[in-house]
Amino acid sequence: MTVREWFEKAQQDGFAIGAFNADNLDIFKAICVAAQRKKSPVMVEFSSGEVEYFGLKNIVSLVVNAREEYGIPILLNLDHAKKVEDCMQAIDQSSFDLIHFDGSELEFSENISGCKKVIEAAHAKALPAGRQVLVEGEIDKIAGSSVVHNEEIDFEALHKSYTDPLKAARFVSQTGVDIMAAVFGNVHGVFPTQPDLDLDLLARIRKSLPNTFLSLHGGSGISADQVRRAIEVGKIVKINVNTELRQEYKDALSEKMAENPDEYAMYKLVPDVILAVAAVVEAKIEVFGSAGRV
């Protein structure tokens, strides 16, 4: 199935596909293990920093090999790419399913212009049968960063960043973007006081974009009930998760190193760490409703 077919199935059947950032090889393995155990489609995604760490061609090789090894649908996403040229390089690799052009820091007209260039290249890319590339757009900068924050979030500033349904509709009509990253209380990272999702706003965004897929970024720290309601109300098809994976990886690795202070071969320590991170992914898959879809 193509990425569009998976999104259509998710929208029709009322579930979302987890899009998990692969911060390192161990987390990448954990994502694949969890999806295989849960018989779930999964999306692995790489931000610009993660692309720089792995190397673009190495990412493609990892995912192509994993698709065969784990025998599950593994979709590949370039996450929060702020440069058109970075998007073009990923499109040229022919193994990416989704390209997220994040023009939220640009003027609205520049964002439209950049997004259109990416969409034209992605949709024109000649690919083998059963493959296609979709493009995700973003007009409102999502607050926070993918860490565990000690400070409280500025709720007044956060509300100002929420997506205007009419502005989103103008963006979609002028770009033809496939999926929109909406902002309605979702943030990057985990905060001491996590914002509630504005589900009424999400309903209005959904109504203004009847033919566009919607994604939920900042899936860490949101209660299971709110996530399920967002999938129901907004027909969300993709939910991004990063911070909780990094947090579990760091905690589990620190614990294993403390238990084994004389061990220097990290590969002997990480199997349990991978399973710990996989457990987090499995729990998210259950909440998103994608388990057993393969």
- Which CATH number characterizes residue 128's domain? 3.20.20.70
Residue span of the structural domain in which 261 resides: 3-288
Q: Tell whether residue 137 is among the known ligand binding residues.
A: no
Q: Mean pLDDT of all residues in the chain?
A: 94
- The answer to whether residue 175 sits within a structural domain is yes
Tens digits of residue pLDDT in 146-199: 778 888 888 877 888 899 999 999 999 999 999 999 999 988 888 888 888 999
Tens digits of residue pLDDT in 12-71: 999 999 999 999 999 999 999 999 999 999 999 999 999 999 999 999 999 999 999 999
- The answer to whether residue 125 sits within a structural domain is yes
Q: How many domains does the chain have?
A: 1
Q: Tell whether residue 55 is among the known ligand binding residues.
A: no
Sign of CA pseudo-dihedral 247, 87, 179, 289: negative
Q: Tell whether residue 185 is among the known ligand binding residues.
A: no
- What amino acid positions are annotated as catalytic residues? 79
Q: For residue 76, list its beta bridge partners.
A: 44
Give the C-alpha separation, 87 to 89, whole Å.
Answer: 5
Res 190: pLDDT: 84
- The answer to whether residue 293 sits within a structural domain is no
